Structure 1
């Protein structure tokens, strides 16, 4: 990759205990579901046709908020029944609760899409764990959708019932990826709160189809609190994204995000990790003429003599910037095109 790439490469991003559903019907919202904001192509595609989603076939019925409530209301939700075992439901109840729409959604997906949290919580009580992990045609699990809509109590309920954190949607994102991209801090907290390090580690290492792990997404979106949460939970600070080998530190430098750079370095990020083209964070900082971040990297021990695949040191990218050149007091002496450090005459 040419030196210009070092300079100009763009940066990649209380359970309810009342009598049951009937007492809640009068409180249900009648509005259509909102279209979530943000640039997340998977769920955006799913939500962009809100009217169609309301009319999606569920068995032979048209689904509205009211009919969704009736479907759940027809099922026995009393504590006398073991609600965790679907095998104990009547045949009619089982058919209602396990029918899949043409979009691949279960009734739980639909409850979440309509943001009917109480209904969703009741369905989580009824469904066994395996049903909670059913993915729709966009490979979104209920946990993906609850996270995207920031329904923290639903996220908590799903996780307490054992919903998987490792499932990936059509873009390769886990629910934790979604939370990191959109700054859903409470959802991240729930997903990492009581999960063992051995169980969470593979989730933190999963890369989506753009090669990004959760820490990369948090860095790309300047989610400093989430970055801190992930690092406390053992996220690999030096994990490289799959397309060009950037670490979170490279991404933070590209964004001129001093706060992220400081946070990563204070947590022990390796300042000299090289991208696939050989560029270190210092190459990127100098190439972008960011003297402040370059200075911080040098103070953190960055090796000023490392060369990229174009055989360039960071100094070679300074382009006469006096503030940056001042960081390399001995590197301006060259013999045969190579810098000489500490030459005595």
Structure 2
């Protein structure tokens, strides 16, 4: 279904998702593995070769090695122990050049330390660099926080967040680091990067949409990340915020995926059962169109309005297509007592 219409033919295809969002964001491989060309999430290792010892033009050079980085960190640590300010007089010219290095891919020395999971070096560089350096984005617009989250380096994420790394910066696909955590189910990283923030400061982050119009809650729902959905709800995420392509809420997405656990969770937390998409389709339209009697029953129990019409002038009943289990959820219009429609006997028995 697109935002232009919500016809019966569109909805009867059970595996269809209206804007193709699910298939674009469905995780098919581990974060560490190279992703297919055209994927909306660029992994931090994409620019490295598939061999075990991944090298780029700068990291593999004689001037940037683990040994030289370790030596630099040790010299800075000694200076700190002596309570001296690290400045140009305390670092050699080679060390200064190393700290200031930006590779052809736009990576700082901190990006590289994270990519190669050199925890000792990474932690010392975080302490050494000012906040402005922590927020430098590479050619893929990834910050060190994006990379640490992608690789699920919880301690690094925690250190970056404590130092004040920005949660609002977006990569080339519009994803913040919190988007990345929600995409891959990294609850600990999400907790680490948001733990220091008040609800007032975190609210704008939770409303950021990537270039496909998806917030963190949308991504968590699309990937059936129930723990992250609960986490985001506790942090104050707007349950009824619409994604930008067709106006779906998290409840619409959960219904599309036949994810009854997410549907129950969202309804219990107060999600709007009658929220319309841009084309007027409610979650009940989607459930009936996909012949999902169980979810349609849940929505009706939550008070869904069965008479709402979409832009095609269809009610949810119009999409039932003769399905007895679905029809049992709706009152018969031609049988009324004292002006009230009589509910199906079959539905009452099953309830």
TM-score, structure 1 length as denominator?
0.84
Cα shift at 1:192: 2.3
**1:57 partner SS:** coil
Question: Contact between 2:59 and 2:112, CA under 8 Å: does it hold in 1?
Answer: no
Equivalent residue number for residue 345 of structure 2: none
Equivalent residue number for residue 340 of structure 2: 342
The CA RMSD over aligned residues, in Å, is 2.7
Equivalent residue number for residue 43 of structure 2: 44
Between stretches 284-293 and 36-45, larger displacement belongs to 36-45
Offset from partner CA, 1:177-229 (integer Å, 9 cap, x none) = 00000001100111222311111111100000111000000000000000000
Unaligned stretches of 5+ residues in structure 2: 26-30, 343-351
Equivalent residue number for residue 10 of structure 2: 5
Equivalent residue number for residue 55 of structure 2: 54
Between stretches 96-105 and 76-85, larger displacement belongs to 76-85
How far apart in 2 are the matches of 1:130 and 1:85? 17
Offset from partner CA, 1:128-166 (integer Å, 9 cap, x none) = 111000000000000000000000000000000000000
Equivalent residue number for residue 144 of structure 2: 142
Question: Contact between 1:59 and 1:100, CA under 8 Å: does it hold in 2?
Answer: no
**1:47 partner SS:** coil
Equivalent residue number for residue 96 of structure 1: 98
Equivalent residue number for residue 215 of structure 2: 213
Between stretches 131-140 and 96-105, larger displacement belongs to 96-105
The 5 Å alignment of 1:1-345 reads 1-3=5-7, 4-8=9-13, 9-10=16-17, 12=21, 13=25, 35-36=32-33, 41-44=40-43, 46-47=45-46, 49-50=48-49, 54-57=55-58, 61=62, 63-73=64-74, 75-80=76-81, 90=91, 92=93, 93-331=95-333, 342=340
Question: Contact between 2:44 and 2:115, CA under 8 Å: does it hold in 1?
Answer: no
Change (3 A) 1:203 1:70: same
Change (3 A) 1:293 1:83: farther
Cα shift at 1:56: 1.9
Unaligned stretches of 5+ residues in structure 1: 14-33, 334-340
How far apart in 2 are the matches of 1:138 and 1:299? 46
TM-score, structure 2 length as denominator?
0.82
